Amino acid sequence: MREISASEFKAKCSAILDEVMQTGQAVTITKRGKPVARLVPPVPRQDGYPQDTLFGTVKIQGDIVEPALKADVWEANERLSR
């Protein structure tokens, strides 16, 4: 596993991200010689995202733009009309 300093990571962040993506090898980022973070490639997902299971389950029941209550029942409107 490769180790790089935080300052080198900051200077070459995009290139290091590309390297991790291409090689699949993790990179340890150090600060003053001590490890502070590890950049690892993502785990490939074979089954999609959890949100995908919700597709097609939501039904819109009416107007989604109109307020839930009419303006004449709002307390704020009553105070303004006094």
pLDDT confidence of 26, banded at 50, 70, 90?
Answer: very high
What are the tens digits of pLDDT across the range 28-62? Answer: 999 999 999 999 998 877 777 878 888 888 888 88
Q: How far is CA 16 from CA 1, 12, 49, 67, in A?
A: 13, 6, 26, 49
Q: pTM score, two decimals? A: 0.54
